[in-house]
Amino acid sequence: MFVLVNLKTYPCDPVDVAEAVRDVNDATDARLAVAPQAAHIERVAETGVETWAQHVDAIEHGSNTGHTLAESVADAGAVGTLINHSERRLKLADIDGAVRAAERADLETVVCANNPAQIGAAAALGPDAVAVEPPALIGTGTPVSQADPDVVEDAVEAAANVDSTVSVLCGAGISTGDDVVAAGDLGAEGVLLASGVAKADDPHSALEDLVEPL
């Protein structure tokens, strides 16, 4: 099970969370990673944790002020990137371009989408994984696997119908180990979460609770 912790722009210490993710990863069979803000990627990667970017743009080297270049986040230590998160929506052509840019920089990719139909479209672009995350549930503490399990099962089916090699992650409201187990029971191969760890008083304990049932 892949557990990807998105730090968003929460007022947490990214290094402290990264060290917690690293230490819990070393004690479990699950695969744990963290996605800090772009400015923190290098410091987070130096902890030895698997580090992801939150976004890359569909650009190459050149005149692109204010954009995020895939090669730059890779040079900083990222090994993968989120694309099209609900809080950083892209047009389909730009999602495709971002996937291509990430591939060029040897970054693993997770393309986020709102529903099974969008998951199918995202899977057709050839990312490594897709993540279904209904926006209404993000940050609520109510997991999609509980609120609407059909969304997860239908997303898994939609991706499989397009490209069986694309993994499906479950996002939105994941905060407990039971949520992670439920996501796996519905066919997801991982979870994408944020506030349950990034806003926790003790990220290490929160992570231990997440992976303990696995």
Q: Is 86 annotated as a binding residue?
A: no
Q: Is 35 annotated as a binding residue?
A: no
Catalytic status, residue 19: no
Q: Single out the catalytic residue among 19, 50, 55, 133.
A: 133
Q: Single out the catalytic residue among 85, 153, 204, 212.
A: 85
Residue 210, token pair as written in the block: 């997440």
Q: Is 117 annotated as a binding residue?
A: no
Strand segments (E) across 97-213: 108-113, 129-132, 167-171, 190-193
- R_g of the chain computed on alpha carbons: 16
Q: What are phi and psi of 85, to 5 degrees?
A: -60, 155
* Contact between residue 116 and residue 161 where contact means Cβ atoms under 8 Å apart: no
* Contact between residue 207 and residue 24 where contact means Cβ atoms under 8 Å apart: yes
Residue recorded with tokens 């397009």: 162
What's the sign of the alpha-carbon dihedral 185, 211, 166, 174? Answer: positive
Q: Is 126 annotated as a binding residue?
A: no
Q: Is 195 annotated as a binding residue?
A: yes
Helix (DSSP H) and strand (DSSP E) numbers for the chain: 10, 8
Catalytic status, residue 85: yes
Spatial CA neighbour of 5 closest among 206, 214, 213: 206
Annotated binding site: 6-8, 138, 173, 194-195
Active site residues: 85, 133
Annotated binding site for substrate: 6-8, 138, 173, 194-195
